[in-house]
Amino acid sequence: MVGKYATETILADAEGIARAAQILRDGGLVAVPTETVYGLAARADSDEAVARIYEAKGRPSFNPLIVHVHSVEQAARLAVIDQTARALMDRYWPGPLTLVLPRLPEAQIAAAVSAGLDTVALRMPDHPVMQALLSELDLPIAAPSANRSGFISPTNPDHVRASLDGRINAVIQAGACAAGVESTIVAVRADGAIDVLRPGPLDLGGPSLGHGIEAPGQLASHYAPGKPVRLNATEVAPDDFMIGFGAIGGDCSLSEGGDLNEAASRLYACLHEGARSEKARIAVAPIPETGIGIAINDRLRRAATPAD
């Protein structure tokens, strides 16, 4: 073992969920499955537990965390839920929608979760294991994607271990994530307007322009596989690991049938494979900019942008 912890593997059964709940209650870190990507969970009401997330990920402290809840009632103890927010929750929760809402002054949430903002990002995930864990704990759970800051997000437990083995207490072994890209993030404004801060599996329109980097995690360079990435590639060079789509084949295909949902679910697995391969570069076939294709292209552009 390298690192601070002998990272435990926890099975996704009742006993495993009880074990994960115990580690989280004690302030530890557990990688948990959701329908989007694996999250790195800690209790959101503990300064120490939340600090451990930032430490394990090497995450900059200006980047706030999403808080996961099991119910609208639990959300209402943390944030102001106006009519617009309530309508969005009724329609899309549980599911891949994160709402950025005004934080209640009395909310039992560590200050670092909001990273100095007066808002909090809330989401109710649609995954039976995560739901069971949230209900058993009855605590708000902070969970960013379970990867080192800036690297590719994890969609299975092996990806989590590749990035965080020895840095966290445990990983729940619950297979691959269905959606494959992170939740759609929406800010609800005082006048009832909504702004999409991060495109995701729910198509609520493209990212709104003119708000600067309001979701501070939305840095230009992110999801980095550690080698150059070329987008909209229709030809393969000898040192390319080719990620195909539809008729364009490759070392890994996002979807041979050209299905965008399948492509989203396979995106990070193909990027992880490309990162591990002996090829010096990664090339990616063109992906249509519609529906969840907007989120796929958003992540690919960040993967292709070199870090400063």
- DSSP assignment of 228-243: -EE-S--S--TTEEEE
As given in the structure block, the two tokens for residue 209 are: 């322009």
Given a contact cutoff of 8 angstroms between Cβ atoms, the answer to whether 252 and 274 are in contact is yes
Task: Count CA atoms within 13 Å of residue 181 on its CB side.
Answer: 28
Amino acid at 222: H
Smallest gap from residue 123 Cβ to ligand TXA (A): 6
Minimum distance from residue 218 beta carbon to ligand TXA (Å):
5
The interface partner of residue 287, options being Mg ion, ligand TXA, none and the CB cut-off 5 to 8 Å by kind, is: none
| Minimum CB distance to ligand TXA, residue 225 (Å) | 16
Provide the phi-psi class of 4: left if phi over 0, else alpha when psi is between -120 and 50, else beta. alpha
- Strand, coil or helix: what is 274? helix
Residue with Cβ nearer ligand TXA (141 or 252): 141
Nearer Cβ to ligand TXA (88/285): 88
- Smaller CB separation from ligand TXA, 119 or 221: 119
Residues 6+ apart with CB under 8 A from 101: 79, 80, 81, 85, 119, 120, 121, 122, 188
Over the range 104-138, which residues count as b (16 or more CB within 10 Å of their CB) and which as e? eeebebbebbbbeeebbbbbbbbbebbbbbbebbe
| Cα 246 from Cα 260, distance rounded (Å) | 10
- Residues in binding contact with Mg ion, number by CB under 5 A: 1
> Cα–Cα distances in Å, from 229 out to 241, 281, 285?
9, 6, 11
At CA 131, angle to CA 261 and CA 128, rounded to 5? 55
CB of 40 to ligand TXA, least distance (A): 8
Residues that bind ligand TXA (CB under 6 A): 34, 36-37, 39, 63-66, 96, 98, 100, 114, 117, 119-121, 123, 125, 143-145, 182-183, 185, 197-198, 214-218
Q: Nearer Cβ to Mg ion, position 159 or 281?
A: 159
Q: Select 92 or 241, whichever has its Cβ closest to ligand TXA.
A: 92
Of 34 and 46, the one with the shorter C-beta distance to Mg ion is: 34
Q: Of all residues in this chain, which one has the CB nearest to ligand TXA in the complex?
A: 217
Q: Which does 124 bind (CB under 5 to 8 A by kind): ligand TXA, Mg ion, none?
A: none
Q: Which listed option, Mg ion, ligand TXA, none, makes contact with residue 99 (CB within 5 to 8 Å by class)?
A: none
Residue 114 binding: pick among ligand TXA, Mg ion, none (C-beta 5-8 Å cut-off by kind): ligand TXA
Residue whose C-alpha is closest to residue 169's, from 302, 18, 41: 41
Q: Which is nearer to Mg ion, 11 or 117 (CB)?
A: 117
Task: Pick what 74 binds: ligand TXA, Mg ion, none; C-beta below 5 to 8 Å, kind-dependent.
Answer: none
CB of 91 to ligand TXA, least distance (A): 18
In the complex with ligand TXA, the residue whose CB is nearer, 65 or 270, is: 65
Partner touching 39 among ligand TXA, Mg ion, none, CB below 5 to 8 Å by kind: ligand TXA
What is d(CA 192, CA 272) in angstroms, rounded to the nearest whole number? Answer: 39
Pick what 84 binds: Mg ion, ligand TXA, none; C-beta below 5 to 8 Å, kind-dependent.
Answer: none
Q: Which residues from 131-160 bind Mg ion, rule CB under 5 A?
A: 145
**Residues interacting with Mg ion, by CB under 5 A?**
145
